Amino acid sequence: MRPTSIQIQSVMEAFGKQAWQYEHLEGKDVIRTAFEAYHTQVQLHAQAFPQLNALSIVGEAPMSVEVEQESYILELLTRANKKITLGGLEYDLDREQIMFRITNLFERDKFDGDIISSMVHAAIAEVDRITPFAGVIQQTSEDLLEDLSIERLLMREDLIPPVPDEEEDYE
């Protein structure tokens, strides 16, 4: 079995400093965990790519939709991605998961803990932010889907989770 890389060790240290629980997948540069967000539970995994000094963090939540709703979900994510600077939302059709993926290339072998924490927060926040919008599509009956404007749906501020206080953190 190969040794744990410096890169994933630095991710585990950053998680430890935040008191975040995680599971290290033995023999791999991957850790996984889950966070309770405002609207949903976000499953999260972090994978280090030592050869590149890169870290990819993926947050995901289950979202099963009918075939007729898939194009609306994909449009929702495409429109939402236009406003995201770092990372991107995806929908895994096979696993029926809404996902947010963010990757960073680091200058050093030991990754910066603040950047790691920011990436984790972004993954949780983006999955949590998009979930209620996807839920509206999920709950819209097939005969009303054509009347649903995704552009207008994304303007609904009542669906946006509140911004946590700086002292508040994800559990």
Delimit the domains of the chain by residue range.
Answer: 6-159
Reading the block at residue 85, the tokens are 């600077």
Better-scored residue on pLDDT, 108 or 29: 29
Q: Which CATH class is domain 6-159?
A: alpha beta
Bridge partners, 1 (sequence order): none
Q: Listing from the earlier edge strand, what are the strands of the sheet with 54-62?
A: 23-24, 30-36, 41-49, 54-62, 97-105, 88-92
Task: Report pLDDT for 163.
Answer: 76
Task: Report pLDDT for 171.
Answer: 47
Residue 167 pLDDT > 60: no
Q: What is the pLDDT of residues 54-87, one digit of tens each?
A: 999 999 999 999 999 999 999 999 999 999 999 9
Quote the pTM value: 0.90
